[in-house]
Structure 1
């Protein structure tokens, strides 16, 4: 069990400051609805229904980027999911924000402006330094408690994540609680049968680190995506290279070559590589080629092939636990979703403990009509999921645990 307190432990009639992660794709200036709103709405609804005065903090984008924008639109989307009004104030800790906080009645919900519009928020620093920022010192006295529900940002040491638990009694929201338990299961739970990890995506550096860290916890790795091609390259195949305008493989190969070769050398029997790959044929349709028949990489490979899916499925079906990190292909394009969806379908049909991680991969479940209920947990975290899998500390979780000890 986690060593932090949850909202079950919150005293009645509290004025609570709640940190969410509502970071979303922005299209034409508007935030797009996604799984994060739905998940966080559970915590917000529960707190409001219990009669707490609920003030929300969240971030969107980063200064200088196109998606760095106000949270005004986020309040409307969240309200739809919560089923009650979510007021918004275009201020985080100035007079307008403080007045709006003071005016809240029991059961009312208020969203403050983007925390990353505050100078105090972003630079990574120790919790002690963050607790002394103007943001924390101004807001904390207005509240009885702090709730962190932003597991997907828990690997960051930002003021809204690590400063408040030093200044207020601190609790975990429902997303924080469920994500933490599922994502640490690979390190903390004992499984009776084989543990399998499906590894893909474009950030090979991340997943190769995970493979190295979980060496003794995972019985077999099923590879696809960029990492899968780099492992094929290490195994002597002429793939895992950039072609044309591509900029995905060569740099990651240089940075990870030694680690990939050592993982293959030491755990080669546990690493399953694709036997065929899919690409866009001359007619624009999906085409497949056996890896052994590739003499030179001339085009981008966008998915694993049918033979690979057929090879991976039995390994999944006999597993006691399956963890997914990253998609096996470019599933956003229906032509190249077979690998990712085939593997997810096999997991869904298997009676095993399963965690699907990484925001992108979890989207495939929705896109292709699979049910979240067929998986033990679908994570909305990316970087924090990687950290949890590799056993690296999560600063925002550590301060929650320290607050519980106090």
Structure 2
């Protein structure tokens, strides 16, 4: 696993520019973790938040922590309360973490008022209030009233123009990036700024339409682009292959033809699967077989890349000096169609270059396989990572830059 290549400084104020001593610091974190029967089942995002929290607490700050959890649609949901998250965070942090039962109401105000230096108050799920996703000025005002400094460490929410992401830093200064946010920005920016070659990107997932912007932005940056997941079937159909019952976005066929032509003009090798695991139905226990991409039987659909493709992609991955992977190779939640994703994950982990997992399902896969420690950087933000790699100025990042101007 290689060291991170040189890159430009994060174009936002950093945590080390903030003197947190004696301050009450509002921290927007991404604690959107999976819960099962009231317990956290994956600590990735909690662990990623710890360095910033420890830095602030060591300086004697009072920390008011903010996060969303799930999609409660603007009203309280007992299953999406942050109490269990506070309990797990308390264990990981080894410091006092008090959970408020509301966001900006009486309980939150009382707990923030009672917060001592070196302690944390976690506000209730931000999305219990419709003002969060609407960036409502009154809701942003009430959040901002809790602190006299702001830290955004929620890269996974940086692509959302929500009250806690853009409204609060517009009202509270200084506003800086936390350590996780800064690391994410430095890493992803480094992929776009002349990284060591060969630079290889692996893209999977369900839809070409979700990743057109990323493909367009990467074609001039990478040496090779390896495609898997259901999105590969639209590319293969664009080349003239009969995909039988596989998922094909017919309205994207011309786009795929143009992307293939653009890759050729750029001298970028765009690789597609040569074999797939096909099944007669979309089900975990469906009868399945491995076939060449040009021989998918009528009525069957591709649900994973095949072993020949895995071997070919693995050989290419081994040569990478810089590597980005975003998106599974098949329906990896089902054992019958998980081999492609697992094979790519193990190849990425074995790569000696600088390796980046672009969040989402790819991050979940390497975590499940116990390979995360063998990867240089596992992003905590799937959607945010994709938008950043498209070249979009994320609202949460722009808000920090605006405050520093």
TM-score (norm 1): 0.88
The residue that corresponds to 1:122 in the other structure is: 133
TM-score (norm 2): 0.88
The residue that corresponds to 1:245 in the other structure is: none
CA pair 166-356 structure 1, distance change in 2 beyond 3 A? same
Q: Unaligned stretches of 5+ in structure 1?
A: 243-248
Alignment partners' CA distance in 1, 2:80 and 2:374: 36
The residue that corresponds to 1:6 in the other structure is: 14
- Number of aligned positions between the proteins: 387
**The 10-residue stretch of structure 1 (201-210 or 14-23) with the greater mean CA deviation from structure 2:** 201-210
The residue that corresponds to 1:246 in the other structure is: none
Question: 1:219: Cα distance to partner?
Answer: 1.7
Aligned partner of residue 302 in structure 1, secondary structure: strand
Alignment partners' CA distance in 1, 2:244 and 2:294: 14
Aligned partner of residue 235 in structure 2, secondary structure: helix
> Out of 63, 68, 71, which is 1:62 matched to?
71
Question: 1:139: Cα distance to partner?
Answer: 3.4
Post-superposition CA distance 1:273-308 (Å, at most 9, x none): 100001358996763111132253x23322111110
Alpha-carbon RMSD across the aligned residues, in angstroms, is 2.4
The residue that corresponds to 1:16 in the other structure is: 25
Q: Does 1:400 align with 2:400?
A: yes
> Out of 188, 191, 197, which is 1:193 matched to?
197
Aligned partner of residue 160 in structure 2, secondary structure: coil
Question: 1:68: Cα distance to partner?
Answer: 7.0
Q: How does 1:247-326 map to 2 (within 5 A)?
A: 249-250=247-248, 252-254=249-251, 256-268=252-264, 270-280=269-279, 287-296=289-298, 298-326=299-327
Aligned partner of residue 155 in structure 1, secondary structure: coil
Aligned partner of residue 48 in structure 2, secondary structure: helix
Q: Unaligned stretches of 5+ in structure 2?
A: 1-8
Alignment partners' CA distance in 2, 1:279 and 1:292: 12
Question: 1:67: Cα distance to partner?
Answer: 9.1
> Out of 139, 144, 165, which is 1:161 matched to?
165
Aligned partner of residue 167 in structure 1, secondary structure: coil
Question: 1:324: Cα distance to partner?
Answer: 0.7
Post-superposition CA distance 1:353-403 (Å, at most 9, x none): 211112211111122232x23222111111111111110110100111122
**Paired residues of 1:26 and 1:67 also in contact (CA < 8 A):** no
Alignment partners' CA distance in 1, 2:368 and 2:110: 42
The residue that corresponds to 1:82 in the other structure is: 93
Post-superposition CA distance 1:253-283 (Å, at most 9, x none): 32x2221111122325621110000135899
